[in-house]
A and B are shown apart, each in its own frame.
Chain A
Amino acid sequence: MRTSRARAEPSAAELSARAWPSWGRLVWVSMRSQNRTFWRNPVPVFFTLGLPLIMLVLFGSLFSWDIDVGFGPIPAAQFYAPALAAFTAANAALSNVGITLAFQRQFGLLKRIKGTPLPPSAFLGGTVVSSVWIALLGTLIMFLAGVLFFDVGIAAAKIPAAALSFAVGTAAFAGLGLALAALSPSGNTAPAVANAVILPMAFVSNVFVPAEDPPDWLRILGDVLPLKHFSSAFSAAFHPAVAAPAWRGTDLAIMVAWGAGGALVAWRFFDWMPRVAGGRRAPKAAAGQA
């Protein structure tokens, strides 16, 4: 180590004249940092990108017949691929925001960040953008696989509607991810809660298999929760019976409401200090996603 180096001291005027780094740049820097954390951990990569793809392949082998809804025979994948893509995006947004932040709080990274001039909004914004980016990749991979291997057709005129549904749905689940991080007592509880929420929600939302004749309470539950609306808004853009441009206002509105609710919970309960061990970081043993 070297002991000293003379540094040209800037004058006070020079200092106050020096501008803060722009908010956009700080969102970008935070997003890149969260992306690295994601790609260098095999567990979240598998659960957000690998698992839905495996489901697509399984569904493709199980339901390989064609369906005729009045437009001639159409491969069944045309109907379940969009639903699975919506699930992929929702899961990617919810988990990558909620679990990552809960672990990063547990390990004291959020406390460390709080001690720097990085605006909290830029850090959280970067985290959300990172998870939206991962959700986008997951969705594109699903459709690419669907088009290449399962004859899924895409209508150009309905792509704007699909893109809007993706943006609103993913943002809504990212908002719920913030709420998940805000309410999780520790990093270890966040993945359990995320899975306990998203998997049953997927079943009542007809993502995996359309229920033939569900009991009322199950149907109502599906109608209230956001995933069915994400799935149906998305599916509409790929359904041969739905004409372009396939905007789905009600579905979008319900998702916006959920996303805003999640953000509100986060705004009220989110904090930066580790919650276990009296505000200190947890011991190393509980290694995880962060």
Chain B
Amino acid sequence: MNAPSAATPAVAVRGLIKSYGAVAAVRGISFEVAAGEVFAILGPNGAGKSTTVEILEGHRTADDGVVSVLGFDPAAAGREFRDRVGIVLQESTVDTSEVTVAEALDTFGAAYRRPRDRGEVLELVGLAGKEDARLKALSGGQQRRIDLALGLIGDPDLLFLDEPTTGFDPEARRAAWEMIKGLRSLGRTIILTTHYMEEAECLADRVAVLVDGRIVACAPPSRLLGSERATVRFRLPAGAAPGDLPALVAAAVEVDGDRAALSTERPTAMLAELTAWAVRRGIELADLHVSPPSLEDAYLHLIGADGDGNRAN
């Protein structure tokens, strides 16, 4: 196939900057996406995910920086570029449409040089047999799958998915993940945005965490946060106040009723202090356990929204 060789990235972004008036949406980000890679942009509301992706799609123009997508400058690219990228926007457009599923796919497919088979695409998104349904009459999740189908109908080399599974029930989300993995196994390059750490972890080869227009981390999901960090949980013994705990523990612990939890990079030392303290007093700590950080915790920590809920700036 005519995909770029491994040496040429499918997407290269350097020093990208975009503001809307006084709002600095993207503040100088750089990354590369290799051909065949699934690259996730993870971040909270307003982080600049859609702005970034829509610049790569050619829907918006950058204020500064260099952007190359499949070797094209998307801001100036034309039909050749459009023929090779598939776009699923964050906002669905099908919910007011009077046309049927089959009509929509045929109309959009007609514009491409090598459209995929309609039935095949519908099967891929789990809507086989819905050909004659009006788009308007589909459920919200089914309409989102139509968005996916319209993004796939041109058989793109590069697929942009802006929050593809928002609004899906858990089963549909799993199914969409399977579909995206399937596309990946066909060698397609995929750039997706999401709010869900779990989604990024399941699908992406690499994740860029975007916060306030800056990339604060970019790595394979397993390496996104120091895995040495762990969470220690236990029940506070009856009659004990948090202040009674040993100093090292007391400084880190958060107490909610009798539930105590702390996040630490030194679980061994922390446990030694805590258990020595309990043994000295002849207390059996109920529900004591140590767990690796949940990915959600890792993500919240990364975007600075962990603990007391303050967002670092």
Contact = CB atoms under 8 A, between A and B. Distances in A.
B111 A116 contact: yes
B126 interface: yes
B108 interface: yes
A30 B175 CA distance: 32
Interface residues of A, number: 44
A40 B98 CA distance: 6
A69 interface: no
A1 B179 contact: yes
B98 A2 contact: no
Interface centre among A12, A109, A116, A118 (most CB of B within 10 A): A116
Nearest to B79: A117
B64 interface: no
A273 interface: yes
Contact of A12 (B2, B108, B114): B2
A108 interface: yes
A110 to B, nearest CB: 9
A8 to B, nearest CB: 10
Interface in B52-96: 57-60, 79-80, 82-83, 85, 87, 89-91, 93, 95-96
A40 B85 CA distance: 31
Given A1-B123, A118-B111, A36 B89 contact: no
B272 interface: no
Given A3-B179, A36-B98, A36-B99, A115 B57 contact: yes
A2 B125 CA distance: 8
Interface residues of B, number: 47
Contact of B185 (A3, A30, A36, A279): A3
A33 B178 contact: no
Nearest to B83: A117
A168 B154 CA distance: 37
Contact of A18 (B57, B89, B93, B114): B114
A175 to B, nearest CB: 24
Contacts of A200: none
Nearest to A20: B113
B150 interface: yes
Contact of A119 (B57, B79, B106): B79
Interface in A3-19: 3-5, 7, 9-10, 12, 15, 18-19
A119 to B, nearest CB: 7
Contacts of A112: 87, 89, 93, 150
A279 B60 contact: yes
Contact of A116 (B93, B108, B179): B108
A187 to B, nearest CB: 10
Contact of B59 (A37, A114, A287): A114
A1 B79 contact: no
A117 B111 contact: yes
Nearest to B160: A115
Nearest to B87: A115
A279 B25 CA distance: 14
Contacts of B96: 107, 284, 287-288, 290
Given A1-B124, A116-B154, A15 B114 contact: yes
A20 B182 contact: no
B285 to A, nearest CB: 46
Interface of A: 1-5, 7, 9-10, 12, 15, 18-21, 25-26, 29-30, 32-33, 36-37, 40-41, 107-109, 111-112, 114-119, 273, 278-281, 284, 287-288, 290
Interface of B: 1-2, 20, 57-60, 79-80, 82-83, 85, 87, 89-91, 93, 95-99, 103, 106-108, 110-114, 120, 123-126, 150, 154-155, 175-176, 178-179, 181-182, 185-186
19 contacts: A3-B178, A12-B2, A15-B114, A18-B113, A20-B79, A26-B110, A29-B110, A36-B98, A36-B99, A36-B103, A40-B98, A108-B93, A111-B93, A112-B93, A116-B108, A117-B113, A118-B108, A279-B60, A281-B91
Given A279-B59, A288-B96, 17 more contacts: A1-B123, A1-B125, A1-B178, A3-B179, A3-B185, A4-B185, A7-B155, A18-B114, A21-B110, A21-B111, A29-B111, A36-B99, A37-B98, A40-B99, A117-B154, A290-B96, A290-B97
